Amino acid sequence: MPGKLCNGRESNNAGAGRLSQSKAYCEGMAYRASGTGIAKPITDNPHVDGSPDGVSWATGWTVAEAGVGGNVSKADLGCCASVPTILA
């Protein structure tokens, strides 16, 4: 939904934080979905470890990782665009 924020945590929509956190969550999910876990490791997180954006990116990556062999649920996608089937 346009204008909706998401970050994969309990605060998902109301109080999801900054727009950059929502963007980082979706980018982390899309990054993991774009290849295998070996080719697209969580250690490639482009944000500072422990920063709000870094945590959101890692959360998105982890959500996609949990969907290996299938698709990410609509609930977990939140405001993100759908991703392809997740490769091992």
Number of domains in the chain: 1
**What is the reported pTM?**
0.84
Q: How would residue 14 be classed by pLDDT, with cut points 50, 70 and 90?
A: very low
Name the residue range of residue 47's domain.
1-88
Q: Higher model confidence: residue 16 or residue 81? A: 81
Name residue, tokens 């939140």: 78
CA-to-CA distance for 33 and 46, rounded, in angstroms?
16
The pLDDT value recorded for residue 1 is: 46
Name residue, tokens 């470890």: 49
* 3-state secondary structure (DSSP) of residue 68: strand
Q: How would residue 3 be classed by pLDDT, with cut points 50, 70 and 90?
A: low
- Count of Cβ atoms closer than 10 Å to residue 17 Cβ: 18
CA-to-CA distance for 12 and 38, rounded, in angstroms?
28
pLDDT tens for each residue of 18-72? 788 889 999 999 999 999 999 999 999 999 999 999 999 999 999 999 988 888 8
